[in-house]
Homo-oligomer: A and B are copies of this chain.
């Protein structure tokens, strides 16, 4: 029986016709990475890029002393590694599977061929890169201009929004990882959660976080206090 892999929607390919998408998938090479397995290393030459079919991949930098800063966690449908692939450069980050992950690998050359034939493909990619860039802009803003509690509040609001405004959200990564994503350490995150809890803005039960006072969180976001 030919069981087809479920294909998550791939924003990268949004706006492409069904035929174009089939063409793209045709040049992709299926790969698998186990939990904890490195997909590429900071400094590796980029011979192509990846799209996550299932599982999760974290993209991170390593400081000399070993502390890591997670830049992204990519899930199904999300591409990574396109940037250095395009610029014909080396990967500027590490990539590691957070759990068992299925990937599609697009070798640089075959992809370039596709793009030349197909301007719309390039358009879709441009949209994706734009969105990514916007995201980085916001990350820089929050890292440099806001304190940890503010960043946390913003993260929770955004998470709630992503989950259809649910008052109770569930972290999809553990708190240590969340700390790294917010550019801090677990201890500090723990204290930030306390601060918001003490102000009756949220309630924390493990990975489950209930937003008690959404307006109050927004306030934090804006004023930084």
Rounded to whole angstroms, the CA-CA distance of A15 and B89 in the bound complex is 18
The 0/1 profile, CB within 8 Å of B marked 1, for residues 119-161 of chain A is: 1001101110111111011111101111000000000000000
A29 within 8 A of B: no
CB of A144, distance to nearest CB on chain B (Å): 4
Contact A67 B145 (CB under 8 A): yes
Contact A69 B144 (CB under 8 A): yes
Query: A18-26, A30-38, A80-88, A162-170: which one contacts chain B?
Result: A80-88
The contact of A65 among B61, B132, B139, B224, by CB within 8 Å, is B224
CB of A119, distance to nearest CB on chain B (Å): 4
Give the chain B neighbours of A82 by CB distance below 8 A. 130
Rounded to whole angstroms, the CA-CA distance of A141 and B62 in the bound complex is 8
Residues A61-102 near B (CB distance < 8 A): 61-65, 67, 69, 71, 82-84, 86-87, 89, 92-93
CB of A123, distance to nearest CB on chain B (Å): 7
A116 within 8 A of B: yes
Give the chain B neighbours of A222 by CB distance below 8 A. 64
Contact A130 B83 (CB under 8 A): yes
A223 within 8 A of B: yes
Give the chain B neighbours of A129 by CB distance below 8 A. 126, 129-130, 133
Give the chain B neighbours of A93 by CB distance below 8 A. 137
Residues A175-225 near B (CB distance < 8 A): 183, 222-224
CB of A116, distance to nearest CB on chain B (Å): 6
Contact A64 B223 (CB under 8 A): yes
Give the chain B neighbours of A71 by CB distance below 8 A. 137, 140-141
Q: If A64-B223, A119-B119, A122-B122 touch, does A87 touch B144 (CB 8 Å cutoff)? A: no
A173 within 8 A of B: no
Contact A133 B132 (CB under 8 A): yes
Rounded to whole angstroms, the CA-CA distance of A133 and B89 in the bound complex is 13
Q: Which residue of B lies closest to A183 (CB)?
A: B144
Give the chain B neighbours of A130 by CB distance below 8 A. 82-84, 86-87, 129
A115 within 8 A of B: yes
